[in-house]
Structure 1
């Protein structure tokens, strides 16, 4: 009987603040300021999303009202961002929602949050690499260069496709860059983000000259059944768009490497969310104004396609080049956050302990390598459009846990609460949690099935591996 009690007690045992402070000293703890963190956030949020998602959501869910979907997603993300800002200020450790949940809820629920985020990072990396590949192929096609079908897509022998060469190349380049250390990577990310924002503004300015006001009518098309158009489509579009707002989660995964994290991380979160939302709304309104929303069906590079079709070939080529740069900056942000999450899981023994080790430059190089390898395999085998549903599901689950978690956090006397605090406590944390939960249930059935299957695997991994190898076992014995 005592064995059973001991086993189930493992689920609720909480992590030590002192232990995390000691272990995270292995990372480069003074590498990132507000500017660098904001660049990581913008680089992740305004990546593949701004060049692709507006067209996809307009064609399949919201029509011209795609901007409303972005606003709804931004409001819900903003509420969660307040919770993330408080947590990152009070608990500036690597691993974001996983580490925080481990501290306030206990090991099992920390694992649930970490497992949800792990799907988010792995698939986001594979998706971004696939998007980068689509844009480079589109760019090369304007010069009459055609890439062999065999190396231009996910494994599908019937269609003559075996792997996506450019997606693999993109992930390997990012792996090499990050393995050299976070400081040099942060400098590169700063310049990539500046260039990307400049060209997004150029796209909006040029696109305004090609707008046909009739393309906005009807602004909210009638519902054609399910979540295709109408307000149900707008809400469903917002749940899909949540993939775009994972940037501040990835940013907080690097909190242990931030200078004065209590101030810099919250500032970077709000700067990222505000700037990204304005760019999303502007780009989506211009895109659906240039062409009827139905025209974007099955278009993999909608922003560049719209410019090419409207006669702005030169600007379209510039956009494609910067889209490549922009999506590459997202690859950097996702790889940074994902490797730090894997480091945190390895640090605690819930994944192989080797992932919790760092090299001489303070980089979790083994975690970074494993992240790259798994993402390449995912991108090679599974349809990315299907897997992206799991990204939104994982993000919303983590947002829900952290939003409600503010209430538990405030009750802890052993935590420093002198930094940023979520306003209108406890009402706003509850509203934030309910909002994320509501959007989760608006996801399509594929997303819910995938999420359920993924979490079943996660529970089994925790029971048969995590409970046996957790570093907490050594402290209790």
Structure 2
């Protein structure tokens, strides 16, 4: 039964109230909302809309809506636990308090992969847009430094230098303080939201309703498959929960940040998908990495397309920032519990950040982004996130049963129906992912299983001395 030993929930809450972690409380509701938007609006809206359109046709807006509903149910569960247990680590921490150490370790192991590969994948996309921007000024990076080995057929490539550099810049920013990182994120978020709104205002004038017919060329199965892929577009709002110990008023601000960021982004995604497929016939998106920009060029608005390309670069920058941030806080929480080396939870005396963890993970995933073609790994990130959403929903059900007396500043409505709906929706999307994704995910969990029994279990703070 030691596999399912749980942390003392009351002690966890007391520790967070006394700021015993050494982290600085400097974030408010607006910061958290913009943090969530910063993580969500990026690759999904600027890149994956093209892939989704090929799978669902004009029904792409329904695919985004379906993914948003699945995330919405999970977000309500996140909001309850984040306000009740304002501790770093997100679903890892909640699982540790409700379902036990082994489940917590496995989901923490899953989150480390999810956040790290998400940051690396987006960095590769950022590199592509950045090189395209440089090419507009007749500046070209040598081919050998433009992509990972084997990423570009017919070209000899060794190292993706732009992806490597942007991840190191983000790592440096995160290492000097969350307040400074949040300021940069807030500015960039306002810029990229402005770019998205510009696309909506301009693009709406060029919509041809005939392009929406047939609305579901591949039936509802196409919508379901597209939803499983574009789900990547919503990843990020859960990273807001990782900031719990750096929020001024976590009981009030965390639910606002989680729900508001998801709601705003869902609305933007559905509108953009509808306009984009209304301007361009969905077949035209084959092999296109910048579908939103393509739609504007198709409409003859090249000057707006240039702004969108710049917005894509800014949008991806904030995604990398928030994903990298979320990963370091999960590592921090797991290390503090003894499951990972203690060095990963050491806090810098001046910057009040997990300095070593930030740089260790940043350098590792910077090299991964530079050396590994990650275009096929979006689904692997998706399956990890969907699994986390299922567990957060189970945690709400378990805690309502085991701790009915717990003070809940925000209560998930419709329990048990909302958590059950979240589990059903997320499981449904998981089963629409490819077989190879399940195999790769299983291999990563198997490695985590070995790591737990070989290292973490006996070093846990809960292990009998």
**TM tier relative to shorter chain:** over 0.9
Match status 1:246 vs 2:242:
no
Q: Which residue of 2 aligns with 1:100?
A: 94
| CA RMSD across the alignment | 1.7
SS of alignment partner, residue 183 of structure 1: helix
Pairwise CA distance, 1:337:
0.8
Alignment CA distance shift 1:324-1:27 (3 Å): farther
| 2:208–2:278 Cα contact (<8 Å) kept | yes
Q: Which residue of 2 aligns with 1:224?
A: none
Residue among 279, 282, 294 paired with 2:283: 294
Alignment CA distance shift 1:415-1:53 (3 Å): farther
Q: Which residue of 2 aligns with 1:236?
A: 225
TM-score where L is the length of structure 2: 0.95
How far apart are the structure 1 equivalents of 2:207 and 2:137? Answer: 27
Mapping 1:105-116, distance limit 5 Å: 105-116=99-110
Mapping 1:154-169, distance limit 5 Å: 154-156=148-150, 159-169=155-165
SS of alignment partner, residue 289 of structure 2: coil
| 2:63–2:230 Cα contact (<8 Å) kept | yes
Match status 1:458 vs 2:448:
yes
Moved more, 292-301 or 139-148: 139-148
Q: Which residue of 2 aligns with 1:25?
A: 20
Deviations 1:18-57 (A, max 9, x none): 2575376224342111000011100001122111111111
Match status 1:209 vs 2:199:
no
Pairwise CA distance, 1:319:
1.4
Pairwise CA distance, 1:325:
1.2
| 1:80–1:402 Cα contact (<8 Å) kept | yes
Match status 1:352 vs 2:341:
yes
Q: Which residue of 1 aligns with 2:432?
A: 442
Match status 1:304 vs 2:293:
yes
**Which ranges of structure 1 fall in alignment gaps of 5 or more residues?**
1-8, 222-228
Deviations 1:97-141 (A, max 9, x none): 001101100000001111121111011100111111111122222
| 1:262–1:420 Cα contact (<8 Å) kept | yes
Moved more, 121-130 or 312-321: 312-321
Mapping 1:114-263, distance limit 5 Å: 114-156=108-150, 159-221=155-217, 229-263=218-252
Pairwise CA distance, 1:411:
2.5
| 2:165–2:366 Cα contact (<8 Å) kept | no
Residue among 77, 84, 91 paired with 2:85: 91
Moved more, 314-323 or 100-109: 314-323
Moved more, 366-375 or 194-203: 366-375
How far apart are the structure 2 equivalents of 1:27 and 1:55? Answer: 44
Match status 1:321 vs 2:310:
yes
SS of alignment partner, residue 162 of structure 1: coil
Q: Which residue of 1 aligns with 2:330?
A: 341
Deviations 1:298-357 (A, max 9, x none): 211222233234332221111111221111111111111111011111111222211111
How far apart are the structure 1 equivalents of 2:211 and 2:143? Answer: 34
Deviations 1:248-280 (A, max 9, x none): 210101111111111100011111111001111
SS of alignment partner, residue 26 of structure 1: coil
SS of alignment partner, residue 421 of structure 1: coil
Match status 1:15 vs 2:41:
no
- Give the length in aligned residue pairs: 459
| 1:21–1:93 Cα contact (<8 Å) kept | no
SS of alignment partner, residue 375 of structure 2: helix
Q: Which residue of 2 aligns with 1:425?
A: 415
Deviations 1:164-187 (A, max 9, x none): 111111111111111110111111
How far apart are the structure 1 equivalents of 2:340 and 2:34? Answer: 29
Q: Which residue of 1 aligns with 2:32?
A: 37
| 1:263–1:419 Cα contact (<8 Å) kept | yes
TM-score where L is the length of structure 1: 0.92
Alignment CA distance shift 1:357-1:465 (3 Å): same
| 1:87–1:406 Cα contact (<8 Å) kept | yes
| 1:55–1:287 Cα contact (<8 Å) kept | no
Q: Which residue of 2 aligns with 1:50?
A: 45
| 1:204–1:282 Cα contact (<8 Å) kept | yes
Deviations 1:44-95 (A, max 9, x none): 0112211111111112x11111110000000010000010001101111000
